[in-house]
Amino acid sequence: CRAYSLVDSSQVSTFLISILLIVYGSFRSLNMDFENQDKEKDNSSTTGSFNGNSTNNSIQTIDSTQALFLPIGASVSLLVMFFFFDSVQVVFTICTAVLATIAFAFLLLPMCQYLTRPCSPQNKISFGCCGRFTAAELLSFSLSVMLVLIWVLTGHWLLMDALAMGLCVAMIAFVRLPSLKVSCLLLSGLLIYDVFWVFFSAYIFNSNVMVKVATQPADNPLDVLSRKLHLGPNVGRDVPRLSLPGKLVFPSSTGSHFSMLGIGDIVMPGLLLCFVLRYDNYKKQANSDSCSAPGPGNISGRMQKVSYFHCTLIGYFVGLLTATVASRIHRAAQPALLYLVPFTLLPLLTMAYLKGDLRRMWSEPFHSKSSSSRFLEV
């Protein structure tokens, strides 16, 4: 009851939205793999070869070196924003708005494809050097640009959340963790990064660097533009300052405070969820090809039926709940990855060891295969 009283409607909204974003982003990623496999099969009909591991050029796979240096790069970026925020805020706002536009267009694309399918064929329209786009892609991009413009004019938190959702889904869908080893390196490094900048940065910089950067609003580009061009006191001066879409915020039922969760606390565990979903699908296809039940003999059939995706997703929810309760008890910001990483990695490692998959998952678990199974029960 004590824990329940420490979770209000804003926290519940954060829980549900973050879990939905991770699940949706993971399945978009898996669907992209299926589409790439289909394209490779079509291309291989003339060459007679097929590689099941081929991926789209836009997909980025994180290797061990990148996993080790990513927390360092994030720390440098955090310090730049902390010390030079006034100098780089406009550039950072514009870059964030551009990325959010592209990401939200990716989020809207399935809906736009569904809406335009009865009206027009899925033929691509040429725009010269800009490329070729379908009607659904043009519609999703137009809606995304409209949303970003309204957000710049109003600065409303709900529009900022929508853009942050697009960023989360796009990052989960387009970034890959190739193995459990890289996953452990990345999440462990980010855990140290999160703990240091939340708990210990105040001892060095006399301020909580993470909280200050996350909560500091930026000048509206329209206001800055009007001042640079001397357009007059009434042009662009009534636009609000912008809270950048690097986080999800939800107001409490009383409106007295906002619940906040950084998109890194969604994306980084989401990459792990995406990895285990792909491994569940790979293992399902391998079992279907071999027509045999894998696993050690001392593992019960019920344990074998529990997927890694379910296990890790439940761990993410429990970790998020623990982080929320801890923040309400201590009345201070908490490094969410301090709770999310152990609650997701430890159950996953334990289950992989019990099922006998730990060695295979640890390094490059995915291999070429000719199976075309496209279904996974979740």
Q: Is 265 a catalytic residue?
A: yes
Adjacent-strand bridge partners of 261: 248
42 tagged catalytic = no
CA dist 59 and 77 (Å) reads 23
The CA distance from 73 to 79, in Å, is: 10
Residues contacting 213, CB < 8 A, separation 6+:
78, 81, 82, 85
CB-count burial class (<10 Å; 0-12, 13-18, 19+) for 232: exposed
- For strands 132-133 and 60-61, give the pairing: unpaired
- Which is the catalytic residue, given 8, 33, 194, 357? 194
Given the DSSP bridges, would you call strands 258-262 and 247-251 parallel, antiparallel or unpaired? antiparallel
Structure tokens at 345: 């990695």
Burial class (CB in 10 A: 0-12, 13-18, 19+), 291: exposed
Give the type of residue at 318.
V
- β-partners of residue 242 are 218
- Of 223, 265, 280, 357, the active-site residue reads 265
Q: What is the CA radius of gyration of the chain?
A: 23
Written as six digits, the tokens of 253 are 């039922």
Active site residues: 194, 265
